[in-house]
Structure 1
Amino acid sequence: MSNSPKVTVIGASNVDLIGLAKEKLIFEDSNIGTIDTILGGVGRNIAENLKHLGFDVDFLSVFADDEFAHTLKKSCKDFGISIEHSLTVKESKTSLYVAIMDHYRDLALALSAMDIYDDIPDSFILDNLDVIAENEFCVLETNLPVATLELVTEKLPNTKFALEAVSAKKALKALSVIDRLHILKCNYKEAELLSDMTVQYESDFEKIIAHFLGMGVEKVFITLGKDGVAYGDKNEIFINKNNILTPVNTNGAGDAFMAGLIYGETKGLDLYDTVNFATGCAQITIQHKNAVHPDICEQMVLKTMMQ
């Protein structure tokens, strides 16, 4: 039996089409650039990062039965990520994510086609409650429908849930379960929507974090891109600045950050070291074209933290 820590991840697995503009984007026109096809999905990215960091992962996702799905399943099995309890939907299409990156290699626009996650049956959660409950942490993300988020957090009150807000549009799905979360991780746009508060000054992040803590969240992390991370718990609220790096691709950085948070929690790191480890994960990730850096590991992150 493995002595590695175990975590459950419930979320999306999809195929990403990543377009990188060679010059400044001209909207309403054809732009010259490169296009790569990579395996992604917020849940899948988090699961792969956690596996690289030494975790055993139970990944509960929804797969189609097309060729893309076969590739996604094979990749999980090759990495040693358990998909035994995932759901396969016949006569469906694998979800796709299309991202357009500007000439600074930052996200300019994205589209997601993820209809396969719209109507997840309750049985998907109810049949796997024992599996999820075996692990201390369960990572959720808002590609899942509200009903799924509500069901799993209601049925397993003793599980520590960490939620990735994913996007401004999807973040609002988390409103009804915020008080059940151990960790809330979002960016500043998602934080504004979830709190119904506006950021004008840096001190406003402290107010938003205090708002979420008052709702019952144990730990809050708001990523600010190149400006760092605002974070807090009942003992402290702080803003951590980033080292400025030129990215190869920012797609997947937030997923790596979430994996780093789970690492810090399971290792018993304090809040400051947890944020630094998670930031190291993100910094490594943006230096590779894939959504998950293929070589990321504990030692690589620790080395990055010392730079």
Structure 2
Amino acid sequence: MITPSANILCFGAAHFDRTLQCTEHFVPAASNPVRTLHRKPGGVGRNIAVHLRLLGNNVAMLGAVGDDGDGEQVIAALSDIGIDTRRMMKLEGKHTAGYTAVLDETGELALGMMDAEVYDLLTIDRLKAQLPNLQAWPWWLIDANLPTETIQWLAANKGSTKMCAATVSPSKSARFKPVLGQLDVLIANRAEAHVLTGIEINELPQAKIAIELLRGKGIPEVVITLGAKGVVSSSNSGTAFWHPLPTKLRDVNGAGDAFYSGFLSAFSKPDTDIDDAVASGLAMASLTAETDGTTVWNLSQDAVATRAAQAEKTPL
């Protein structure tokens, strides 16, 4: 079944992730011989935008890269699959962001390094002139790699555009605290929800209190993801727990970002309620967890719909 395409503008991170593994015992503060396991595109905004595009939506990406080879490759890879990259900024004299993970000889993370300084340059001054064009997009997906001041400015100037917040990480999720009442959709994991509410979530009753507190801030649609334990959603139609879908687990990397894509792809369509959107999000997360890497390149709407049909909820 082919559903109508939506128009979604994604703001945030687009870079390369690199994973290296020590070939001998890891020694801190020393030169360690390594082998490269992979180098692949990453970034929350990028991951969400790619799956949204593969689901048939009209997607644009606004972010920042350096004037280097990595930046050119990031933009080209997005453009090659039909994502509008005209709002991607190539900043002179800057380096494209990147995450590097160094694994020890056993495969455990020994060191993680994130260079994200270029995203701090996504300032209000750089976006002001584009505002009329940005407001022409019915939906914004904004990840928390943007500076707090820029997020606040966007929230205050979104006009009729609906704004979905991608919280990224516990530390960065705090950037949405000043604008909770201006969001249309918030999706966060339990650690990020803890930062936003002060409630530590270990069991469903705590998740229910936290999600209803967030709804009380004025957010119409809120989802808290609980990893392998499922999802809690809350809207005007009530609060519910969603059971995890049966999944042949291969690689959980990217599953959280995939939930955003599935949810927003469905929810941005006319006459779609939060139940259909959560089911679609769970389906995308499940399909991604069954795939090596963060992207399901052979994705089809039929595959998502078939998996989503298995979703079950229990009112809380």
Alignment TM-score, normalising by the size of structure 1: 0.89
Once the 2 structures are TM-superposed, how far is the Cα of residue 248 of structure 1 from its aligned partner? 2.5
Partner of 1:187: 189
- The CA RMSD over aligned residues, in Å, is 2.9
Partner of 1:288: 291
Q: For 1:219-234, what aligned pairs fall within 5 Å after superposition?
A: 219-234=221-236
Q: For 1:17-96, what aligned pairs fall within 5 Å after superposition?
A: 17-18=18-19, 35-96=37-98
* Alpha-carbon distance in 2 for matches of 1:186, 1:20: 30
AA partner of residue 81 (structure 1)? I
AA partner of residue 113 (structure 1)? D
AA partner of residue 78 (structure 1)? D
Query: What do the CA deviations read for 1:131-180 (whole angstroms, capped 9, x no partner)?
Result: 22112110001011101101111112321100010001111111111111
Residue aligned with 2:134, SS: helix
Once the 2 structures are TM-superposed, how far is the Cα of residue 26 of structure 1 from its aligned partner? 9.1
Partner of 1:260: 262
Partner of 1:113: 115
* Alpha-carbon distance in 2 for matches of 1:107, 1:272: 37
| Alignment check: 8 A CA contact 1:125 1:151 kept | no
| Alignment check: 8 A CA contact 1:106 1:249 kept | no
Query: What do the CA deviations read for 1:213-269 (whole angstroms, capped 9, x no partner)?
Result: 111111111111100111111221111111353432222111111111111212333
Partner of 2:5: 4
AA partner of residue 295 (structure 1)? N
Matched, 1:274 2:267: no
Partner of 2:168: 166
Q: Tell me: CA distance 1:111–1:287, structure 2 relative to 1, closer, same or farther (3 Å).
A: farther
Partner of 1:177: 179
* Alpha-carbon distance in 2 for matches of 1:166, 1:55: 22
Q: Tell me: CA distance 1:203–1:110, structure 2 relative to 1, closer, same or farther (3 Å).
A: farther
Partner of 2:313: none
Q: Tell me: CA distance 1:190–1:273, structure 2 relative to 1, closer, same or farther (3 Å).
A: same
Residue aligned with 1:194, SS: helix
Q: Tell me: CA distance 1:241–1:109, structure 2 relative to 1, closer, same or farther (3 Å).
A: farther
Q: Percent identity?
A: 25
Find the partner of 1:299 among 284, 297, 302. Answer: 302
Residue aligned with 1:59, SS: strand
* Alpha-carbon distance in 2 for matches of 1:222, 1:33: 37
| Alignment check: 8 A CA contact 2:220 2:236 kept | yes
Residue aligned with 2:85, SS: coil
Once the 2 structures are TM-superposed, how far is the Cα of residue 124 of structure 1 from its aligned partner? 2.6
Partner of 2:314: none
Q: Tell me: CA distance 1:278–1:78, structure 2 relative to 1, closer, same or farther (3 Å).
A: same
Matched, 1:245 2:263: no
* Alpha-carbon distance in 2 for matches of 1:158, 1:27: 54
Structure 2 segments unaligned to the other structure (5+ residues)? 311-316
Number of equivalences: 303
Alignment TM-score, normalising by the size of structure 2: 0.87
Matched, 1:122 2:124: yes
Q: Tell me: CA distance 1:31–1:220, structure 2 relative to 1, closer, same or farther (3 Å).
A: farther
AA partner of residue 301 (structure 1)? V
Once the 2 structures are TM-superposed, how far is the Cα of residue 288 of structure 1 from its aligned partner? 2.1
Residue aligned with 1:77, SS: helix
Q: Decide which moves more: 37-46 or 291-300.
A: 291-300
| Alignment check: 8 A CA contact 2:135 2:159 kept | no
| Alignment check: 8 A CA contact 2:26 2:110 kept | no
Query: What do the CA deviations read for 1:13-44 (whole angstroms, capped 9, x no partner)?
Result: 010124689xxx99979899972111111111
Residue aligned with 1:93, SS: coil
AA partner of residue 177 (structure 2)? L
| Alignment check: 8 A CA contact 1:61 1:87 kept | yes
* Alpha-carbon distance in 1 for matches of 2:112, 2:232: 25
* Alpha-carbon distance in 2 for matches of 1:80, 1:166: 24
